[in-house]
Amino acid sequence: MVVAAAVVLAALPLAVLLRVLAGRLTRRAGDTRWAWDDLLARLLRDLALPLAVLGGVRIAAEILEPSARALDITNKILTAATVLVVSLALARLIAGTFASVAHARQGPAANVTIFANITRVLVTGIGVLIMLQSLGVSITPLLGALGVGGLAVALALQDTLANLFAGVHVLASKTIEPGDYIRLATGQEGYVVDINWRNTTIRTLSDNVEVIPNQRFSDTILTNFHRPAQDMALLIQAQVPYDSDLERVEEIVTEVGAAVMAEVEGGVKDAEVLVRFHTFGDSAIKFTVILRTDEFGDQFRVKHEFVKRLHRRFRDEGIGTPYPVLRLDASGDAVTVAG
């Protein structure tokens, strides 16, 4: 009895020591660039304390030499506890793996919780079933009851399940991913922050958060400004007076656009600047300038700088502003107004 108590008491400081060492290993792993050593170190930290205690209790039970029935019950309980501890640790490890993969693919802003949560629930559920089996509980009737209960739950939670499967479909098809800038036909737009089991969170340009049910993506038109490539064309409308030299205007606009692309953050360096005249307006010739930006949010900075520089350059070159002009024709008895 004394020896068994001594083993249990010795297991406690050993468990604490292993937990401290695992914590130091976790901090050391956090200083490296690799994410896998962080996950493995965290797994060791999660398992160190409970497994050491359970191991000490098991050894103490062997030393006490109880009856066969008592020893069998004790072993079943310890095995079930070990299975539960390992299942919870593995669920956390696999969820962390999904988070690490999403982080590596999309950068620090990525946050996809739907796969992590589904995996955590599945691994924990399998662990609970194995734990019950180790305790001698037949899980066959339980699985049958879960099937019937699952059908009832599915009927009661149709909208929730529809959102769940819609979210899985969106991620599996890569329609949208965290970090993408999207716009729905219903008007919502912003950067995708997170896709969980029920809804998708987007951050608008005004730094507000909008929460959209996943099912909405299956019945609306969606524009993803980061697909097929993140960089995008930026179309800017402008106009010049009729008496302008269009060849010179095109040359000036191209020079200004190239300078903006090379100097302004968010511009695509070495991108071709295109000028396309397209309309004889009432008092000016209208044209479109086509620039390129690295991503959707950069267009405002690039457009701001381009308009300022082009206005300054037109003023220096003597290209005037095409104000509307009205001409009154008072010949005869009628008065005609022409623009």
Is residue 335's pLDDT more than 90?
A: no
How much is the pLDDT for 258? 94
Name, in order, each residue with C-beta under 8 angstroms of 1's C-beta and a sequence gap of 6 or more: 64
Answer whether 325's CB lies under 8 Å from 318's CB.
Answer: no
Alpha-carbon distance 251 to 245, whole Å? Answer: 10
Q: pLDDT (tens digit, 9 = 90+) per residue, 120-164? A: 778 888 887 777 777 777 767 666 666 655 555 555 556 666 777
Question: Which is more confidently placed, 25 or 337?
Answer: 25
Q: For the chain, first and last CA: distance in Å?
A: 109
Question: Which is more confidently placed, 220 or 54?
Answer: 220
The single residue listed with the structure tokens 């209790």 is 57
How much is the pLDDT for 109? 44
Q: Which sign, positive or negative, has the C-alpha torsion 51, 56, 57, 62?
A: positive
The separation between CA 320 and the C-alpha centre of its own chain, rounded to angstroms, equals 48
CATH number for 232-317 (one of 3.30.70.100, 3.50.50.60, 3.90.850.10, 3.40.50.720): it is 3.30.70.100
Answer whether 179's CB lies under 8 Å from 110's CB.
Answer: yes
How much is the pLDDT for 263? 93
CATH topology of domain 173-224: SH3 type barrels. (2.30.30)
Annotate 122-166 with DSSP letters as a single string.
HHHHHHHHHHHHHTT---HHHHHHHHHHHHHHHHHTHHHHHHHHH
- Whether 173-224 and 232-317 share one fold: the answer is no
Peptide bond between residue 228 and the one before it cis (omega within 30 degrees of 0): yes
Average pLDDT over the chain, rounded to an integer = 78
How much is the pLDDT for 19? 66
Annotate 274-302 with DSSP letters as a single string.
EEEEEEE-SSSEEEEEEEEESSGGGHHHH
How much is the pLDDT for 83? 82
Q: pLDDT (tens digit, 9 = 90+) per residue, 17-44? A: 666 666 666 666 555 665 556 667 777 7
Q: pLDDT (tens digit, 9 = 90+) per residue, 85-111? A: 888 888 887 777 766 665 555 544 445
Per-residue pLDDT, averaged over 167-192, amounts to 84
| Domain boundaries defined on the chain | 1-158, 173-224, 232-317
Res. 81 pLDDT band, cuts 50 70 90: confident
Task: Name the pTM for this structure.
Answer: 0.56
How much is the pLDDT for 53? 74
Q: What order do you get walking across the sheet with 209-213 strand by strand?
A: 209-213, 199-203, 189-195, 181-184, 222-224
Is residue 339's pLDDT more than 50?
A: no
